[in-house]
Amino acid sequence: MAIDKRVLVTGGAGFLGSHLCERLLDRGQDVLCVDNFFTSSRRNVAHLLDNKRMELMRHDVTFPLYVEVDEIYNLACPASPVHYQFDPVQTTKTSVIGAINMLGLAKRLKIRILQASTSEVYGDPELHPQPESYWGHVNPVGLRSCYDEGKRCAETLFFDYRRQHKLPVKVVRIFNTYGPRMHPNDGRVVSNFIVQALRGDDITIYGDGAQSRSFCYVDDLVEAMLRMMDTPDDVTGPINIGNPNEFTIRELAEAVIELTGTKSRIISAPLPSDDPRQRQPDIGKARDVLGWEPLVQLREGLTKTIAYFDGLLSEGHAGLPARR
């Protein structure tokens, strides 16, 4: 295990980034958390700011960054469809120019850099489950393209820096991940359903609810990212990280209803365009290369996430309408 390193986490105040910063600090590493707070706030990392190893910097990764660090985790990018479609041009810039800037920094410092890529590089997959060798089925001109193609281009850049400059790059393709500190209004299905259930509002299933996703709890995901960073230089990925247990969106809604004990009803709402029908990672490579597999199953992870959102609602958190 690497200790006493100074680790840069871009997007470090976000949902996944804040958990990663926390784990790095627990390992005794110095953390430089860089974020422009586009989809997050200091609140996510406020509990870490008293730690003398933690430094928080407001910065937009589409501008160059000159710092001295030993490793980079590049997470900066809005992740939920509502957020990344709000300013799609900025989303592509963040993925592509952000990757160029962070790769340039890694090249100057001759250090490892890990990219938080996504299962969205597979688009609406025709192959199920998705192995890393699958090239994907992506609409280049749709509403999700700014994110999907931005992330695909970032992967290209990572592998070109590897080939051209021998940079030790690491690419993980993250499948739907959930847990405490997801943004309550980001429109993602887990946060939406839990907040709706806790407030007694209708639970909005888009389409018929037969589309499926595989949900990974945040602690498992962070463990995989740390393991990936610690692999030898010749391990580049891309490598799928996710929980292969697949659920339909209707099954997820039913689990949330049961675990919260809500009286909310399920209602149907229009299916967004280009919404992938099915998604499940093939994690054979993660098992072999990282000796990793997810430990937290859906009901346990949902219970922890429900407790987090219940706390937010009780505090009357500004991002949430008052509880009924």
- Which residues of the shown chain bind ligand UDP in the complex (CB under 6 A)? 80-81, 176, 187-189, 192, 204-206, 211, 213, 249, 271-272, 275
285 binds, options ligand UDP, ligand NAD, none, Cβ within 5 to 8 A by partner type: none
Q: How far is the CB of 120 from ligand UDP (least distance, A)?
A: 7
> Rg of the Cα trace of the chain?
19
Say whether residue 308 binds ligand NAD (CB under 6 A).
Answer: no
- Out of 8, 9, 32, 36, the only residue in the binding site for ligand NAD (CB under 6 A) is 36
Q: Which option in ligand UDP, ligand NAD, none does residue 301 bind, with CB closer than 5 to 8 A by kind?
A: none
| Residue 282 C-beta: closest distance to ligand NAD, Å | 16
Looking at residues 79 to 98 of the shown chain, list those that interact with ligand NAD (rule: CB under 6 A): 79, 83, 94, 98
CB-based burial label for 58 (10 Å; 0-12, 13-18, 19+): exposed
Which SS3 state, helix, strand or coil, does residue 61 take?
A: coil
Task: Indicate the SS3 state at residue 103.
Answer: helix
- Identified catalytic residue from 84, 122, 147, 178: 147
Backbone φ and ψ for 267, nearest 5 degrees, come out as -125, 160
d(CA 246, CA 165): 39
DSSP 270: P
- Number of chain residues interacting with ligand NAD (CB under 6 A): 30
Residues 164-203 that bind ligand NAD (CB under 6 A): 174, 176-177, 183
- Half-sphere exposure at residue 276, Cβ-oriented, CA atoms within 13 angstroms: 28
* Residue whose C-alpha is closest to residue 21's, from 36, 2, 6: 6
Cβ–Cβ under 8 Å, residues 114 and 173: no
Among ligand NAD, ligand UDP, none, partner that 283 touches (CB below 5 to 8 angstroms by kind): none
- Span between the terminal Cα atoms of the chain, in Å: 48
Q: Of 76, 96, 189, 306, which lies in the binding site for ligand NAD, with binding defined by CB under 6 A? A: 76
Single out the segment in contact with ligand NAD by CB under 6 A; choices: 75-83, 133-141, 199-207, 312-320. 75-83
The CA-CA-CA angle for residues 157, 162, 166, to 5°, reads 145
Residue 123's CB: how many other CB atoms inside 10 A?
23
The secondary structure element, H or E, covering residue 125 is none
Min dist. Cβ of residue 159 to ligand NAD (A): 17
Active site residue 66: no
Give the catalytic positions in this structure.
147
Residue ranges binding ligand NAD (CB under 6 A): 10-11, 13-17, 35-40, 60-62, 75-79, 83, 94, 98, 116, 118, 174, 176-177, 183
